[in-house]
Structure 1
């Protein structure tokens, strides 16, 4: 076939690799509120972030990549009420929680923190239409 298939994509998954898959799953389920939608029997847990967007938590002992100390990845979730999320996350004992910040250049208010194995999460909201 010389042409890209034109059928719509079904979903998108970003995979992150963990030493302790159960701990990662508990964090994303219990703290972030992401439901488990696909259980790949100990290899990976695929959690829905929002319609069409998913995060895949992979046991590094069985995945295509291995856990690495350096994490050049940030997982970002855009929400309608960043202040409510900030108040909530402050009570969850997360590591490296930032102050709320504004980036006028890209039109967001946001904060960041780390998940249990050091991946940075950003929770943000737009400060202007189209941002």
Structure 2
């Protein structure tokens, strides 16, 4: 039997929260994401065409909230400097300095969402990066 060859429709990365309403406010009000799919205890937000993040009430989801979060949500933007100024003004939790990684060709910074997931905002500094 062969794998179906139809194109994928979208990608969703799921994060698990103790306080879903607080997470929703952060992703809507701070990051400006749009709710794409409302499944009640799971809220799926569009990051860009085809890419989504799902916020799940850990009391009902397939996984549970954990203090250690070895995962990062990375969002590529055209204006990392503008986003960094915004992040400074918002005093986001665990905000890093703006940094350059010449090896992979990005300028970026990181911060944490309300329950400790790390978010990276980055821009390419060279074509193809």
Could you tell me the TM-score, scaled by structure 1's length? 0.97
Deviation at 1:93, TM superposition (A): 2.6
Q: Which residue of structure 1 aligns with residue 89 of structure 2?
A: 91
How many angstroms apart in 2 are the aligned matches of 1:12 and 1:92? Answer: 28
Residue 60 of structure 1 is matched in structure 2 by 58
- Residue correspondence of structure 1 range 1-131 to structure 2 within 5 A: 2-41=1-40, 43-131=41-129
User: What SS does the aligned partner of 1:57 have?
Assistant: strand
Any idea what SS the aligned residue of 1:76 has? strand
The whole-number CA distance in structure 1 between the counterparts of 2:27 and 2:42 is 13
Equivalent pairs, count: 129
Structure 1 residue runs of 4 or more that deviate by more than 2 Å after TM superposition:
none
- Partners of 1:82 and 1:105 lie apart in 2 by 18
Q: CA deviation at 1:4?
A: 1.1
Cα deviation code 1:29-77 (max 9, x no counterpart):
1110100011111x20000000000000000000000000001001000
SS for the counterpart of 1:90 is helix
- TM-score scaled to structure 2, two decimals? 0.98
Give me the whole-angstrom Cα distance separating, in 2, the residues matched to 1:82 and 1:6.
36
Listed as ranges, the gaps of 5+ residues in structure 1 are: none
- Tell me how far 1:19 sits from its aligned partner: 0.3
Report which stretch shifted further, 23-32 or 90-99.
90-99
Other structure's SS at 1:29 match = helix
Distance in 2 separating the partners of 1:29 and 1:92 = 14
